[in-house]
Amino acid sequence: MSNIILGRYIDGDSIIHRMDSRAKLILSLYFIVIVFLCNNWQTYALLGIFTLACVLLSKIKMSFFIKGIRPLIGLILITVLLQLFFTSGGTVYWQWGPFKLTSFGIINSIYIFCRIVLIVVMSTLLTVTTTPLEIADGLESLMAPLRKIKVPVDEIALMISIALRFVPTLMDETQKIINAQRARGVNFGEGNLFKQAKMLIPILIPLFVNSIKRAEDLAVAMEARGYQGGPNRTKYRQQHWHLADTVGIVVFLALTGGLMLLRG
């Protein structure tokens, strides 16, 4: 459980930490879109340098990002190998049955590899420099225009905040339940599928029951504090749009321009 990097916030004081969460959310999304603009090595090099610059700006250790990618390496390699051996087109170097090694295949698999790594690094950067509550606030204010088409934005934002708040609590609780059942002699992760499934029941039922009780208690406590819902509430955490956010958007627009120019 401890090797999960994505979704963990690391305190720091850098330009990227201080940026507005709305700006970071928009820019991360936008980054995923412009990665798909890349189609030759110059464009990938440009984006690679840009990503590296962002990582350096965040003042978070590089080893941290490498640790984040490590659990994904096996998966990325399978994807790359699939691309490598099942792509047709270009010069054929080697062939055996349905497997073939072609120039298109090699180039395609390198591009796919770069694309996944760039996206993983950028999204890790977002979650590492932004607290879950900031992300929830950012999502809420980005969704605000949807109020006009009767989307219950306040309710959705409330649920996102509650859900994010209780992720660590529920994870601890799961660990406790697993240990408690272990002490009673349940062996997890052993045996065939149905043996494993049978062992899940003594974890899942207490987990669900505890969650329901927690939800009911929470609802009662919120009501007792005068929570009535609706959009007419004031906010404790205010969001501020800084100069850095505007600069960030300008930089991204310039980057898009550069990609369009270099695109083959």
Least Å distance, CB 21 to another protein, is: 16
Burial of residue 97 (number of CB atoms within 10 Å: 0-12, 13-18, 19+): exposed
Contact (Cβ atoms closer than 8 angstroms) between residue 84 and residue 105? yes
Least Å distance, CB 70 to another protein, is: 12
Q: Which of 66, 229, 247, 250 binds another protein (CB under 8 A)?
A: 229
Q: Which of 15, 26, 72, 110 binds another protein (CB under 8 A)?
A: 72
Task: Give the span between the Cα atoms of 26 and 21, in whole angstroms.
Answer: 9
Query: Is residue 14 near another protein by the rule CB under 8 A?
Result: no
Q: Judged by CB under 8 A, which stretch of 19-27, 45-53, 179-187, 194-202 contacts another protein?
A: 194-202
Q: Judged by CB under 8 A, which stretch of 19-27, 71-79, 239-247, 256-264 contacts another protein?
A: 71-79
Query: Is residue 15 near another protein by the rule CB under 8 A?
Result: no
Query: Is residue 196 near another protein by the rule CB under 8 A?
Result: yes
Q: Which of 61, 70, 213, 263 binds another protein (CB under 8 A)?
A: 213
Q: Which of 45, 82, 250, 260 binds another protein (CB under 8 A)?
A: 82
Q: Which of 214, 239, 255, 258 binds another protein (CB under 8 A)?
A: 214
Using CB under 8 A as the binding criterion, the count of chain residues that bind another protein stands at 65
Query: Is residue 43 near another protein by the rule CB under 8 A?
Result: no
Joined together, the tokens standing for residue 127 give 């979650």
Q: Which of 73, 171, 250, 253 binds another protein (CB under 8 A)?
A: 171
Least Å distance, CB 242 to another protein, is: 25
Least Å distance, CB 168 to another protein, is: 9
Residues 163, 166, 170: CA angle, nearest 5 degrees: 120
Contact map string, positions 90 to 129, toward another protein, x by CB under 8 A: --------x-----xx--x---x---x--xx--xx-----
Q: Which of 43, 58, 87, 129 binds another protein (CB under 8 A)?
A: 87
Q: Judged by CB under 8 A, which stretch of 74-82, 136-144, 233-241, 244-252 contacts another protein?
A: 74-82
